[in-house]
Structure 1
Amino acid sequence: MGRAVWNILGDGPLTTGVTAAAPQQGLYALDEVSDEGLLGWQERALCAQTDPEAFFPEKGGSTREAKRVCTSCDVRAECLEYALANDERFGIWGGLSERERRKLKRRAV
């Protein structure tokens, strides 16, 4: 059985980890979320099975290994969507670096 999740702002992406028994003023009920949860895709991500340091290289460090892992990951799209929605500023998410995600966001505007 899932749980109800409430969007605090009433628009935009879900705020994770916020649950309530009933809506309150300013909160809007959303569809029920499966037991897997909003971030369940992370359990299926290939990066969860590899060295996390590869996905957060030092400034100027290589992103090649992380991006190689991302190319064969089944949840790459969900990962990128999460990073864009949550303005992740560090690391490789969905196969893109911080700079590549910024460019992608600029083109979308």
Structure 2
Amino acid sequence: MTGESWREDALCRQTDPALYFPEAGGSPRDAKEVCEACDVRRECLAYALDTGQQHGVWGGVDQRELRRLQRARRHAQAA
């Protein structure tokens, strides 16, 4: 898939966007379950990492996991 065309096939388009941005203390579990079944999960995660997303569930990872991946990516690029 090129550009952001992957978004057209994303399962999250069929659910409430609020699911992917839980309130403080809320669980990202339901969003992650949708992501697990999504065919474009890898593209979504790559987009989040490439664009520096800080909040929400992207590609099946929550914002804490996303930040950890971003730090690891920066560290690997600096090495």
Distance 2:62 2:52 in 1: 12
Deviations 1:30-78 (A, max 9, x none): xxxxxx7511111100000111111011111110000000001000000
Q: Which is higher, the Rg of structure 1 or of structure 2?
A: 1
Structure 2 counterpart of 1:84, one-letter code = L
Query: C-alpha separation between the residues in 2 aligned to 1:102 and 1:42?
Result: 22
Corresponding residue for residue 57 of structure 2: 92
Q: Percent identity?
A: 53
Map of 2:71 onto structure 1: 106
Runs of 4+ in 1 over 6 A off after TM superposition: none
1:55 aligns with 2:23: no
Mapped to 1, the partners of 2:40 and 2:13 lie a distance apart of 11
Matched residues in 1 for 2:2 and 2:72: separation? 30
Q: Give the alignment's TM-score, normalised by structure 2.
A: 0.86
Amino acid at match of 2:41: R
Displacement after TM superposition at 1:106 (Å):
2.1
Q: Secondary structure at the match of 2:43?
A: helix
Indicate the structure with greater helix content.
2
- Tell me if the contact between 2:52 and 2:70 (Cα under 8 Å) persists in the aligned partners: no
Bigger relative CO (Cα 8 Å, ≥ 6 apart): 2
1:66 aligned to which of 4, 24, 31: 31
Point out where structure 2 has 5 or more consecutive residues left out of the alignment.
Answer: none
